Amino acid sequence: MHVEVEENFDVKNLTSFKIGGKIKKVYFPKSIEEFVQVCSCEKKFEVLGNFSNTLVSSDGFDGVVIITSKMNNIITDKNSIYADCGIKGPKLAQIAQKHGLSGFEFMIGFPGSLGGNIYMNASANGQCISDKLVKVKCFSQEKGVFDLKKDDMKFSYRTSICQKEKIYVLGAEFLLDEKSPEEIKNKMEENLEFRKKHQPSLALPNCGSVFRNPEGNSAGKLLEESGAKNISSGNVKVWENHANFIVNNKNGTSEDVLNVIYNMYVKVKEKFGIELKPEVKYLGNKNKREAELCKILNIK
């Protein structure tokens, strides 16, 4: 079995931030079998889908990354859908809509892959990835390939068991609601319109919301009231229309992004005494300043 592999891979254009240097070795498995084969060959690796909430170091990464974007098999059976981890949210939403199946409308504007959405229990517009989930096909170095039922995933706000243990999502099965394709399409269009008004388009490189909402509060509101919209570093700045988003205007660096996140964090902490938790993950080498900021912000 031959698995596609690249060395010294320039990842910048794959990331939502359009930031990142070269990765030492990157695998592109197309199936679960190929994924398992890579894991049997490599002792240490990172697994990523669409790099939608990952900040990759401008200095690159000296390790191994498995990119699951080519694992995109889908099986539909009546109101059941199985999808591999690499399929993007919008494509999954569109396929469900064509089959008259409701439950994925919220993903129509998501840049992320299914695996990432399950990993962080993504949600929007009153829907959540775990709502219609039946079971997840997983992989760990200790157990190999195995299934976890919805209750075993330990879902809560922006978290799952995958963040607590070294468990990787390979695919998932969902049981959706039957509705007319037209009704589902209308809901998807409403969600896209809402997203246009409240979030930057992907034409402006960004990684989605920067901070999680504190319990009973809104990170965006706290950032707005603390004056965070004026923060910038190099070619990276807080988006003028919503204070919980950062955009890379052009040629921003990973250090620029971390500087902006840190200054946003400080603004809210000084004004409200609340320590916001970043949703952004970091991959790669760190210079001295980046290491300091990641430690303060608890970005891993």
Catalytic residue annotation: 158, 209, 279
Check if the beta carbon of residue 282 is closer than 8 Å to that of residue 291.
Answer: no
Per-residue tokens: 149: 């039922």
DSSP SS3 for 280:
coil
Q: Where are the beta strands (DSSP E) in the chain?
A: 4-10, 22-28, 46-48, 54-56, 61-67, 74-77, 80-84, 101-102, 123-124, 127-128, 133-140, 144-149, 168-175, 177-178, 232-233, 236-238, 246-248, 281-283
In which element (H, E) is residue 224 found?
Answer: helix 219-225
139 forms beta bridges with 145, 168
Going from the C-alpha of 259 to that of each of 125, 175, 251, 269, the distances in angstroms are: 30, 43, 15, 15
Closest CA to 127 of 152, 99, 96: 96
Q: Environment class of residue 91 by beta-carbon count within 10 Å: exposed (0-12), middle (13-18) or buried (19+)?
A: middle
Strand partners, 172: 83, 136
The 3-state DSSP class for residue 201 equals coil
Going by C-alpha positions, the residue among 79, 127, 86 that lies closest to residue 100 is 79
